[in-house]
Copies of this chain bind each other. A is one copy, B any other.
Amino acid sequence: MTRPDGRAKDEMRPVKLTTGFTMYAEGSVLAEMGNTRVICTASVEEKVPPFLEGKGLGWVTAEYAMLPRSTNTRKKRDIKSLKLDGRSSEIQRLIGRALRAVVDREALGERQITIDCDVIQADGGTRCASITGGYAALYLACRKLVDEGVIEKMPLTAAVSAVSVGIFEDEAVLDLNYAEDSHAIVDCNVVMTSKGEFIEVQGTGEGRPFTRNELDQLLALGEQGCSRLCEIQKSVLGE
């Protein structure tokens, strides 16, 4: 099997995290994995959702959307149909859960950080790029809170990154682009901490069910990819 873009099975696309991509957000990152490009911003607000008021705990939430022409065919804006796209809803719930898993909500204090992930170009793996870039934006916003003396210590217990793995033409491959993803028979997203632990594993048999052995191969590739992503995060965020 040869991958459409000639990569080795365990080879990720070039990854780039550009910090300070926009000027207003407390944390802002352009996350690129190959042709996939996502603007991730972290916005701090000095209030929490009603169910947390007065508890001294912070909150981190995420929103995900695609620009209409981030894809090959123009996609209608959600507001046209008055409905949040089901896939977007599922993805933003995943991003939020993934990032909250490393947040020390007591250390963050009673404030909310919203991670906005807006895809400007989609070539597979947008949810994973959103998590990897979203973590970087979250880190920058927290760093700013610490630097400004708003909070005492970094409220993050580990870094988080995510990568997609899948079975393409009956072989396990790392970091699928759109051409691979749309033909993958098994698709799996792996979210891990910088300590090598899992936060979320979502494996789906798109074209056919899969065996335990296949899942093991996918998880191994996922561990490898996330480990590499954490290094890149570290080099960019300087820690």
Contacts and interface: CB of A to CB of B under 8 A. Distances in A.
Interface of A: 22-25, 28, 35, 37, 39, 41, 43, 45, 63, 65, 67-72, 74, 77-79, 82-84, 86-87, 89-90, 92-93, 97, 101, 114, 116, 118, 120-121, 158, 192-193, 195, 197-206, 208-212, 215, 219, 223
B197 A69 contact: no
10 contacts: A22-B37, A22-B70, A25-B69, A41-B67, A68-B118, A79-B83, A101-B205, A195-B209, A198-B203, A199-B205
Given A43-B68, A70-B24, A116-B67, A197 B219 contact: no
B202 A209 contact: no
Given A84-B89, A86-B92, A197-B211, 9 more contacts: A22-B120, A23-B121, A67-B118, A68-B118, A86-B93, A199-B209, A200-B202, A200-B203, A201-B203
B68 A79 contact: no
Given A198-B205, A205-B200, A208-B101, A63 B39 contact: no
